[in-house]
Amino acid sequence: MSNEILLKNCSLFDPVQGIDGETVDIAIRDGRIVESVGSKATIINLHHRLVMPGGVDLHSHILGSKIGMARTMMPEYHRTDPVPRTDTTRAGIGAIVPSSFVIGYRYAQMGYTTVIEPAVPALKALNVWEELADVPHIDVGLLPMFSNSMITYHYLQNDDLSGLAAYIAWILRKTGGMGVKVVNPGGTYAWAHGMNVRELDTTIPDWDLTPRKIIRGLVEAVESLGLPHPVHLHPNNLGKVGNVETTIAQLEAVRDIKGHNGRKHIIHLTHISFDSLGMMDEGVPEWKYVSSGGLELAEYANKNDHFTVDLGQITFGPAITMTGDGPFQFSLYQMTHNKWSNLSVDVELPGGAGIVPYIYNPRSPANAVQWAIALEYALSIDDVWRCVMTTDSPNAGPFTQYPLVLSWLMSREQRKIWADKIHPFAKERSTLMDIEREWSFYDVAISTRAAPARILGLQNKGHLGVGADADVAVYDIVPVKIDLAKNPDRILSAFSTSFLTLKRGEVVAKNGVLAGDGPRQVHTIHPQLDPALWNRINHELEDLINRFYVHSFHNYAVPSRYRENMEQRSVIQSERISP
Amino acid sequence: MADAHILENVVCPFCGCLCDDLRLTIENDVIVQCERGCALGKAKFLHYREDRMLSSTLRQGSSQIEISLETAIDHAARILVEARRPLIYGLSSTENDAHREAYRLAEYIGAVVDNTSSVCHGPSIIGTQASGEPMASLAEVRNRADLVIYWGANPLYAHPRHVNRFVRAPGEYIRDPKAERQMWVVDVRESVTSRIANRSLIITPGSDLEVIGTLRALVRGHTVDVASVGGVSLDTLCELANAMKRAKYGVLFYGLGLTQSRGRHNNIDAAIRLVQDLNSFTKWSMLPMRGHYNVTGANKTSTWTTGYPYAVDYSRGYPRYQPGEYTAVDLLRRREVDALLNVAADPAAHFPRDAIRGLKSIPIINLDPKRNLTSLIASVNIPTAIAGIECDGAVARMDGLPLYLKKIVEPPEGILPDREVLRMIFDRVKEVSDN
């Protein structure tokens, strides 16, 4: 059978199966991992090279109007990195905000095979699905934003949790989402009034609601639906010195909520570089008093297991910030006086998302401290399964910098080299330099594969057990022969370009050379509601959408023509929610 | 009335408002009635069968002879393969999948690909590239705006339902738009729009940049030591600046009067900076009044494919961007291009005389549903289906909202959507260039 492959002599790191560098053979048939294959299978001898499941990125801005606006604003970035067409690949641009084709190519070249777009305005999802057709090689999932939506507020204010859950279910089904994103709950809404809301119990404009009530309501709704991915939280008070206190308060605010089916993790905290800023004793919330809050958050995490995080690691150099946090973006504009765009989005993000280019300067004391935060956290927590490596691409740096982040996590020597180059605040205002821990390949495989897949609820991703998707990354190093901690440059070269990337059993990249488009899917969640509740929500949303928006309820959904070729729909049973 | 039915919530493919509340009556696969649309939208839906090209044609001397679609595709492919510097232009009056095919073809043959924003809101995009842009959404305008300014725009003519749907309509937090929402118009002359506004400022033609600069100074609290700017008294400008700062939620809509008058992208940059400044005091956003129904979509598709919103040159195998250099008018004026593939636009009707001379000297392949000035001078005409009437597709409203155009009736026999014709040209180009 020609669709059978045997990868021989893999040095496999597969934490889901507990495999820590043992030499194994991997059998693939019809795009999936199987027990064994026949004698006619294509044999690829990997000679003990490092093998991991395909990388899973649970937070990277790759689609939709925000990145489109960022690309439009930044031709000066693009022209530094032209990407010519080849016989198998399309042309485009790379650098910080690559064009759609190039995003797929570069992830595949790094051995990543699944990427989650974490901030979709649901009413613009059609645009996202169109772009998806031009993002090759990677599986994708979409997280629509709910925390500043007037419809969310309508249900919360009426204490109608069934209605809120049904609204979420309707959006996921009609626009093809897989989870719930929360961004500065109430604060982005307040930005429609030129204001922000920073604290949990501040009442937001126009509504009798607080961030606490919004976050709790959304977490409860997600757990009542039984969504595989918990609420994905970008907290209030982003980018403010001392905000690790607010962040912990927000985590604390939902700690008592029971996860469905007994699951422990009910919230995912994203990009901690921006929400775990500490403050010196006797200080005030100004940048000169900033310190790392990474250790404080890690200590909280080691005592409380209801949440997971991703890093949003600063990588230095040019970046572009884009968040659904309009007031934060405006404050960043006031600080930098760089370009600033704001995208108001009908009803769902009335104050609007923001986009500001930013260059992380190694000489900046604030940026140096931010650099230390996420590393300090990742190297201080007991459980790597709750810690995912990201750069919140392209906010803290583009995803192509992941190998650099891994080099910091895996090599104390590399951390020293960098700490000596950057502002001394990195050493003085964090404990980073005292930490001896170095991540192993096993830790890397957890943080970049197994953990994100588990947090997302993607059961066939992040491992290479029988039945898993044959998404495989092979790197050109033999683990037993090299001490990477002493050779940080080899970390960079090995993880920058995979030796082989397989997507569903097809080789899509070999030493950086790409094949044509491989098989790929968009993973969506399709909650089944009690028919009476489904009926109710359709009637109510027709009224609400026609009242709040200036386009029709009937033109809101993403038509199947844009979805049917790519959508992998997982039906979940949510009928127990009372109508 | 053998086969009559009514379609609700139809999206109107005319201007950048993309009104999606139209109601069409269809009898025997013909649209016979259009309700709720403006005069422009109604005309598009009710006269869609007029002035159609119903067969591909080839120009021979001064006459156009009818040819088969296959022959037309072959001629088109050969023109493009033989060209050393081909240009693909237009795209704003068709749906996004047609754009995607156009870029694939442009990349393959190393063409320049430009859309009509290079002759309308191109300067707005250059302004955004200098400063960013706080963009409004139309629903939020209706729900919240208490001060709306139209600058260099005459929506009652160009976007006839814009004022009624978004400004004079009640919204969630503006229950009585007449009393709670002010509408000001700044223009170089009185217009039908300025006559219904609460206030109208007539400024001297070409003085927009000075007027905006003065407003910025006043908003920032500087004193300006002149009696008037751009023909407007300083007192009036102070009044406007104060009204802008006092507004709770202001929105600036700007049109070609600002983008294409003296100063061009500098005007827009200044307007963006003004709106950004105002956000230190209160909430302000802005929005370009996009004309063609999918020119916003053309910028979006171009950007996700190439990184750049218009004026893209693929001649080196990768996209390069330079307005003024790779923009259609400039290429034609310099006689730099030697073939044009025109899709859903009428450059012969809208370009400056100098550029039209350039057009007349090169072979033109023209894809359009209807006869127009470009079809008269084209070497090859290939008729196509009208998006939003005879074929489906996705488009973007002026505020970026994507909407889906439905297919309402069958196109005339043998007539295909732009995207399919472009795909056929691409396939034929590959065959011809492989031989």
| Rounded-to-integer distance, Cα B355 and Cα B353, Å | 5
At residue B330, what are phi and psi to the nearest 5 degrees?
Answer: -70, -40
Smallest CA-to-CA distance from A97 within A325, A313, A314, A320 is with A320
From chain B, pick out residues whose CB is under 8 angstroms from the CB of A79: 320-321
Q: What is the mean pLDDT of residues B14-27?
A: 98
**Between the CA atoms of B256, B260, B264 and B270, what dihedral angle is there, to the nearest 10 degrees?**
-20
Q: Which of A61, A124, A127 to mutate to test the interface with B (most CBs of B within 10 A)?
A: A127
Task: Using an 8 Å CB-CB cutoff, list chain B residues near A561.
Answer: 392
B120's CB contacts (< 8 A; 6+ apart) are B256, B259, B260, B290, B291, B292, B295
| Sheet architecture: strand order including B134-135 | A317-323, A349-360, A341-345, B134-135, B283-288, B249-254, B147-151, B182-187, B199-202
The answer, for A340 touching chain B at a CB cutoff of 8 Å, is yes
**pLDDT tens track for B98-156:** 999 999 999 999 999 999 999 999 999 999 999 999 999 999 999 999 999 999 999 99
Helix (H, G, I), strand (E, B) or coil at B209: helix
Inform me whether the C-beta atom of residue A345 falls under 8 Å from chain B C-beta atoms: yes
Q: Given an 8 Å threshold on Cβ–Cβ distance, is B305 in contact with A101? A: yes
pLDDT at B41: 97
How far is it, in rounded angstroms, from Cα B336 to Cα B326?
10
For A:20-79, CB contacts with B below 8 A are 65, 68-69, 71-75, 78-79
Find out whether B198 and B191 touch, Cβ atoms under 8 Å. Answer: no
How far, in Å, are A22, A411, B287 from residue A58 at the CA level? 27, 24, 33
Residue A511: exposure state from Cβ atoms within 10 A (0-12, 13-18, ≥19): exposed
pLDDT at A1: 44
Q: Which 3 state secondary structure label does DSSP give A321?
A: strand
How far away is chain A from the Cα of B118, in angstroms, using its nearest Cα?
14
Question: B380-383 and B56-60 as β-strands: parallel, antiparallel, unpaired?
Answer: antiparallel
Please compute the mean of the pLDDT values over residues B208-231 and round it to a whole number: 97
Q: Does residue A107 contact residue A115 with C-beta atoms inside 8 Å? A: yes
Q: Chain A residue closest to B141 (CA)?
A: A346
- Please check whether residue B426 touches A, CB under 8 A: no
User: Which of B253, B272, B318 has the highest number of chain A CBs within 10 A, making it the mutation to test binding with A?
Assistant: B318
pLDDT tens for B308-335 read: 999 999 999 999 999 999 999 999 999 9
Verify cis geometry, omega within 30 degrees of 0, for the bond prior to A394.
yes
DSSP for A72-98 reads HH-HHHHTTSEE---SSS--EE-SSS-
Query: What tokens were used for A397?
Result: 């740096």
- Cα(A431)–Cα(B62) distance, integer angstroms: 82
Low-confidence ranges of chain A (pLDDT < 50): 1
| Chain A residues touching B396 at Cβ < 8 A | 127
Residue A350: what are its φ and ψ, rounded to 5°?
-55, -40
Chain B contact set for A92 (CB, 8 A)? 305-307, 318-319
pLDDT at A3: 87
If phi > 0 it is left, if psi is from -120 to 50 it is alpha, else beta; for residue B71 that is alpha
Contacts of A58 (CB under 8 A, 6+ apart): A116, A118, A268, A310, A388, A390, A452, A455, A456
Whole-model pTM: value is: 0.97
CA B291 to chain centre: 4
Look at B307 and A126 and tell me if their CB atoms are within 8 Å. Answer: no
Residues of B in contact with A346 (CB under 8 A): 137-140, 399, 401
Contact A123/B at CB under 8 A: yes
The answer to whether A84 contacts B317, with C-beta atoms less than 8 Å apart, is yes
Cα atoms in the 13 Å half-sphere on the side-chain side of A488: 17
* Crossing angle for the helix pair A365-378 and A402-410, to the nearest 10 degrees: 70
Cβ(A182)–Cβ(A164) under 8 Å? no
Is B144's Cβ below 8 Å from some Cβ in A? Answer: yes
Q: What is the pLDDT of residues B275-302, one digit of tens each?
A: 999 999 999 999 999 999 999 999 999 9
What is the rounded distance in angstroms from the CA atom of residue A367 to the CA atom of residue A361?
6
CB-based contact, A463 to chain B, within 8 Å: no
CB spacing of A552 vs B165 below 8 angstroms? no
Q: Are A37 and A71 in contact (CB under 8 A)?
A: no
pLDDT of residue A177: 98
Instruction: Report the residue from B21, B139, B300 with minimal CB separation from A347.
Output: B139
Predicted local distance difference test score (pLDDT) of residue A2: 61
Task: Provide φ and ψ at A414, rounded to 5°.
Answer: -60, -40
Write b or e for each residue in A174-200: b if 16 or more Cβ atoms lie within 10 A of its Cβ, otherwise e. Answer: ebbbbbbbbbbbbbbbbbbbbbbbbeb
Residue of chain A whose alpha carbon sits nearest to that of B136: A344
ipTM, 2 decimals? 0.97
Token look-up 């937001």 returns A204
Q: Minimal Cα–Cα distance from B207 to chain A, Å?
A: 25
Q: By the CB < 8 Å criterion, does B402 face chain A?
A: yes
**Amino acid identity of A277?**
L
Length of chain A: 579
What's the gap in Å between the CA of B416 and the closest CA on chain A?
18
Residue B2 is predicted with a pLDDT of 59
The answer to whether the Cα torsion of B43, B46, B50, B53 is positive or negative is positive
Question: Is the Cβ–Cβ distance between A503 and A521 less than 8 Å?
Answer: no
